[in-house]
Amino acid sequence: LFSVLKMLHHLFLLSFLLLLSLFNLLLFIFFLFIFFYFILSFYSFIFSLFFSIICFF
């Protein structure tokens, strides 16, 4: 009985770690997506500004 409990405990810990790593991965992807989105919007803003300046001159 004790060994079964120990095994269950180990399995629970493993699954918990797996879930945690999955969650971290999702969080990382989410932040990366936001980061890329900000960079792209920033670049498009600069590009439009540059283009408008060129058109103005």
**Residue 47: exposed, middle, or buried by beta-carbon count in 10 A (0-12, 13-18, 19+)?**
exposed
pLDDT at 24: 95
pLDDT at 14: 93
18-55: pLDDT as tens digits: 999 999 999 999 999 999 999 999 999 999 999 888 88
Residue listed under structure tokens 């919007």: 41
Report field, pTM of the whole predicted structure over 0.85:
no
pLDDT at 37: 95
